[in-house]
Amino acid sequence: VGAIGPWNWPMMISVWQLAPALRMGNTVVMKPSEYTPLSVLALVKVINSVLPEGVLNIVTGDGKVGAALSTSQGIDKLMFTGSTETGRKIVESTAASLARVTLELGGNDAGIVLDDVNAKEIAEGLFWGAFINTGQTCAAMKRLYVPESIYDEVVDALVEVAKNMPMGVGLEEENVLGPLQNKQQFDIVDKLVKAAKDGGARVLVGGDPDYDQPGYFFPATLVADIDNDNPLVAEEQFGPALPIIKYSTVDEAIEMANSLDVGLGSSVWSADRERALEVASQLEAGTTWINAHGNVDPRIPFGGTKNSGYGVEFGVEGLKGLAYPHVVNG
């Protein structure tokens, strides 16, 4: 099994890849992101203190190393977590060997709030659904749809939560939000927030980073009164900026949520479970959470639809994806 990991949760996602692969009896070659190799190197060193030599292997480097891994004839299965663009390249490069592939790719997760909620009760859950790991999570909520009847209530409640979430160096215990991992990602978030401002959207909190501050700190940013086709909504920001889009009918919200070519996660927020389930059943996503967002569980299959990839991790189905079915008939 070849495993190519991302920079946003380097150790955790590496465990998601290597643990089931080893459990199903495979040897593994891991390639961590060139942005975050050190923690994964340390993890593999610890694991290899008890594994036989050659079972778990690690190679580091940039995309050329990943490309070599994906074209290797010695790889029977490839697991990749990362961007849709790179996922497409992996599919192309594995064509010659016909290696099996599990892809967990980019998402632009939608959350839909229904008009029966208590805005203050759900505000913190909405915030962390979007801003966990400072928004650098594939299955974080990246666009929020709110009915016009309670739009101002939800917006005000979110602003109150955001104002009380300190950002800073992680070694300082009071901080709960940290920096973006690299300059490239900082520039993407900065560009998309500027596009929202240029489009006439209203920045409620954040939006103006201190460019002279060391580290790639972008303040937690909430953006209201934004069009659904604005780049901050239509493109995955992968950072601490949440656009809040107003809708008139639930059908309109579902249509907007399904309008993009990605479908990793989604969520529905309601005081009525049956009503929430009815809306959830119409969303195009690998996972839809009710009154939560991004709560993955290793016992439950997790994967995407559309351009968010194929195959699943976790659960029995994820384990099955790391072995060949073999029928002995006779």
Number of residues that make up the chain: 330
Whole-number Å distance between alpha carbons of 222 and 237: 13
Q: Which long-range contacts (CB under 8 A, 24 or more apart) does 317-320 make?
A: 318/20, 319/20, 319/23, 319/24
Residues whose CB is less than 8 angstroms from the CB of residue 55 and which lie 6 or more positions away in sequence, other chains included: 22, 27, 28, 48
Question: Which residue is catalytic, options 121, 124, 138, 284?
Answer: 138
34 is catalytic: no
Whole-number Å distance between alpha carbons of 63 and 212: 30
- Check the CA dihedral 145-151-153-157 and report its sign: positive
Question: Which residue is catalytic, options 104, 236, 284, 313?
Answer: 104
104 is catalytic: yes
Stated as kind and residue range, the H or E segment containing 81 is strand 77-81
Question: Which residues participate in catalysis according to the annotation?
Answer: 104, 138
